[in-house]
Amino acid sequence: MRLHFIYLLAIGLISGCKSSDINKHDKATEDFLTNIQQQTFQYFWEGAEPNSGLARERIHIDGVYPENDQNVITIGGSGFGLMSILVGLHNDFISKEEGLQRFHKALHFLDSIPRFQGAWSHWYHGDTGKPKAFSTRDDGGDLVETAFLAQSLITVREFYKDGNAQEQEIAKLADTLWRGINWDFYRNGKDVLFWHWSPNHGWGMNHAIQGFDECMITYILAASSPTHPIPASTYHNGWARAGGIKSDNKKYEIPTLVKHNAKPGEVGPLFWSHYSFLGLNPFGLQDQYANYEDVVKNHTQIHLAYAQANPKNFKGYGADKGWGWTASYSTNGYNSHHPDNDPTGVISPTAAISSIPYAPQESMNFMKYLMDNLADKTWGKYGFYDAYSETENWFPQRYLAIDQGPMVVMIQNYKNNFIWDLFMNAPEVKDGLAKLGFKSTKY
């Protein structure tokens, strides 16, 4: 009943909003956004894996799961979930006591499970704490998933560090977990970071992390580590490809500014402009290679231009309708959708909604379009479902943690910079950014 009420309330609030009226300080708009957050937040609260308190990799309302998968937790998605719980506290979705209890459970679980030079695996079985291999050779440490989690550990620490004794205990444990990550080990003696290491297969995955994609935060945190830092040269030679990260590529006459990790001339999925920037505020942030406010805004505008052009004439596309492509469920399983990889007209709501700081009017237009035209098909127990295609009449009732979390966090960052301020004001983050030559006009 309560979910139905929130859904009806949301439709009523946004249906009266014209795109020209969008203002985050308008009460109707803010209430609408808060309702979206609150329902999506429940993925990480009511929907959490019970033993660990962390985020399930997926929740399928239809109840059909891959074998032995229903209680698998995701480390990166759990990082997004921990930040979402902070948002829940900030908005009074839960009480202070409830939040403390959940963080106590989640952080102690993270402290108890196997790690690999301080890095966590991509997946764990929530009931046993044992790692679950992501692929044959990917059965050890996953540095990128670990970075997404570490980003949240810093925000949790900053949120609780000046609190009462119980809160300071949580802050201390979050700090201990963050300090335990051996970032320098994952260089494998070279001047670049590697994504995976396995006790069974060593460096067999051989996946160097180079920009630009979702992994930028990995280098920022590795440089910021107070215990196992990487030298600045690893960022410049590894991530930035010795300057090769800069690009003159344009799409729809919009410059990408950085080299996307895609085929020549292609533009990547929007999660590349979301995952690292849940904590890292791109506004006013630049280094010798790019202004990252321009990078993420241009990336978003390219997706909007593609939606407007709609070269394949897919149903429901447009800058004031459906837009935004990212990695999500697809009609053919799972796909990393982007303007150059859009075979069946699949749109992922997280792409447009998590872009609200970069394109607020168009993001709100998208939410209004869904509520006005597709609400019962795209909106459910934990907010908007993961993906849909009007062209294929495909509306699965399924969720993924890595897609739900960014919506909760980025809406809050749009509203008042809450998570951005926690992360960017952390002392070691400030030091790490300075070490790499970043400048921020806001911090």
In order along its 443 residues, the chain shows pLDDT tens digits of 333 344 444 444 444 443 334 566 688 999 999 999 999 999 999 999 999 999 999 999 988 888 778 899 999 999 999 999 999 999 999 999 999 999 999 999 999 999 999 999 999 999 999 999 999 999 999 999 999 999 999 999 999 999 999 999 999 999 999 999 999 999 999 999 999 999 999 999 999 999 999 999 999 999 999 999 999 999 999 999 999 999 999 999 999 999 999 999 999 999 999 999 999 999 999 999 999 999 999 999 999 999 999 999 999 999 999 999 999 999 989 999 999 999 999 999 999 999 999 999 999 999 999 999 999 999 999 999 999 999 999 999 999 999 999 999 999 999 999 999 999 999 999 999 999 999 999 99
First to last CA, the chain: 44
Identity at 419, one-letter amino acid code: I
Q: Which helix (H) or strand (E) holds 333?
A: strand 333-336
Q: How far is 314 from 110, CA to CA, in rounded Å?
A: 44
In DSSP terms, 330 is beta-bridged to: 333
Nearest residue to 388 via CA among 320, 339, 316, 340: 316
Q: What is the pLDDT of residue 24?
A: 62
For 286-313, b/e burial (b = at least 16 CB within 10 A) is: bbebbbbbebbbbbbbbbbbbbeebeee
> Could you give all domains of the chain from N- to C-terminal order, each with its CATH number?
2-440 (1.50.10.140)
Identity at 93, one-letter amino acid code: F
Q: How far is CA 340 from CA 17, 345, 434, in A?
A: 32, 12, 36
Which residue intervals of 209-290 are DSSP H helices? 216-224, 232-234
Q: What is the pLDDT of residue 70?
A: 87
In degrees and rounded to multiples of 5, residue 99 shows phi and psi of: -60, -45
Nearest residue to 412 via CA among 19, 17, 92, 2: 92
3-class secondary structure, 159: helix
Q: Which residues contact 159 (CB under 8 A, 6 or more apart)?
A: 86, 89, 171, 422
Nearest residue to 401 via CA among 32, 35, 10, 45: 45
Q: How far is 91 from 400, CA to CA, in rounded Å?
A: 23
**pTM strictly above 0.85:** yes
